[in-house]
Amino acid sequence: MTALSETSETRETGEARAAAADAARDNLTALESEGMHVFREVAGEFDRPVILFSGGKDSTLLLHLAIKAFWPAPVPFPLLHVDTGHNFDEVIEFRDRMVAQHGLRLIVAHVQDWIDDGRLTERPDGTRNPLQTQPLLDTITEHKFDAVFGGGRRDEERARAKERIFSLRNAFGQWEPRRQRPELWNLYNGRHRPGEHVRVFPLSNWTEADVWNYIARERVELPSIYYAHRRKVYRRDGMWLTEGPWGGPRENETVEELTVRYRTVGDGSCTGAVESTAATVEEVIAEVQASRLTERGATRADDRLSEAAMEDRKREGYF
């Protein structure tokens, strides 16, 4: 009796697991197809698209989809990195290697240039994340980009959950949430007036878990700091920050060496590491599944500023 029911139970869970695995695979394939469709729509309808590329995992995924969408032809757009100067060396090395490997053209807008010539002033807290908006908008205007791909995902934050895949920005680059166009079926309306542009988010419908499962499936290479490594860090605002040119540690902050990894990669002054021993994609997937914190909540000081921090920055023209 007992033995029998055990067998059937084992089989059932085995089948359930197989079914769940099939389901996950279908889901990733559907997300991939949707992303490729978005890339091709933009290539077909816009004159001067550009892909925002920082070397982080979402923008790396974006590039991976773009390569697949146009294969065997090269990606028909340049890349743009708004460089705060507060970088992780591993990420910049990775960025440049990807650009070379795929024969792409990279435009870098250095926030430092805007500070040097007085168009921007350094903030007292030393964070440069909010300073990216101006160089981004200036570069869009200078190059007359009409479509700007970003790696934003709706699951990142509840204001992002409200944004369309094609997000129209006015002449000041601003998102006007109350004036969003209806987005019906998979028919995207990218019409815009001169001076306006469209931000395009091919990864809108991906979750953090989808991103990692896809990275595992496609064996997408990422900068090494996404995996566990030893690093000297200090505690600030409840986050593990790393030493760097952004001013840290302060006198009362003690440096420790820990095993950490990064869940998101942004400006070094406000991106925290998480304690983790996940050294492979599979281990990261297990960790993400068990995590009780969102990736931004766990690692981004800039999103903790207020209840509407992300919305406010988007309204100003942020990604």
Q: Which residues bind other proteins (CB under 8 A)?
A: 16, 19-20, 22-24, 26-27, 29-30, 32-34, 36-37, 40-41, 43-44, 67-74, 154-155, 157-162, 177-178, 180-187, 189, 191-193, 204-205, 207, 291-294, 297-298, 307-308, 311-312
**Closer CB to other proteins, 195 or 245, in the complex:** 195
* Burial label, 292 (beta-carbon count in 10 A; 0-12, 13-18, 19+): exposed
* Max Cα distance, the chain (Å): 81
Minimum gap (Å) between residue 271 Cβ and other proteins: 16
Please identify, using beta-carbon distances, which residue of 68 and 235 lies nearer to other proteins.
Answer: 68
Whether the upstream peptide bond of residue 49 has omega within 30° of 0, thus cis, is no
- The answer to whether the beta carbons of residues 317 and 169 sit under 8 Å apart is yes
What is the closest distance, in whole angstroms, from the C-beta atom of residue 307 to other proteins in the complex? 6
**By C-beta, is 74 or 245 nearer to other proteins?**
74
CB nearer to other proteins: pick between 255 and 308: 308
Question: In the complex with other proteins, which residue's Cβ is closer, 204 or 269?
Answer: 204
Closest approach of other proteins to the CB of residue 194, in Å: 11
Annotate 238-273 with b (16+ C-beta within 10 A) or e (fewer). ebbbbeeebebbeeeeeeeebebbbbbbbbbbbbbb
311 contacts: CB under 8 Å, gap ≥ 6: 159, 177
**Roughly what angle, to the nearest 10 degrees, separates helices 57-70 and 208-218?**
50
Q: How many CB atoms lie within 10 A of CB 16?
A: 10
Instruction: Tell me the closest approach of the beta carbon of residue 119 to other proteins, in angstroms.
Output: 28
Q: How far is the CB of 22 from other proteins (least distance, A)?
A: 7
Is the Cβ–Cβ distance between 111 and 131 less than 8 Å? yes
* Least Cβ distance, residue 182 to other proteins (angstroms): 4
Task: Indicate the residue among 88 and 240 with the shorter CB distance to other proteins.
Answer: 240
Q: How far is the CB of 51 from other proteins (least distance, A)?
A: 16
Query: Which DSSP category does 74 fall into?
Result: P
Within 119-228, residue ranges assigned H as helices are 133-143, 208-218
Whether 97 and 68 have beta carbons less than 8 Å apart is answered as: no
> Which lies closer to other proteins via its Cβ, residue 23 or residue 100?
23
CB of 266 closer than 8 Å to CB of 246:
no
Complex with other proteins: residue 30 or 255, whichever CB lies closer: 30
In whole angstroms, the minimum distance from the beta carbon of 221 to other proteins comes to 16
Angle at CA of residue 302, ends 296 and 308, nearest 5°? 85
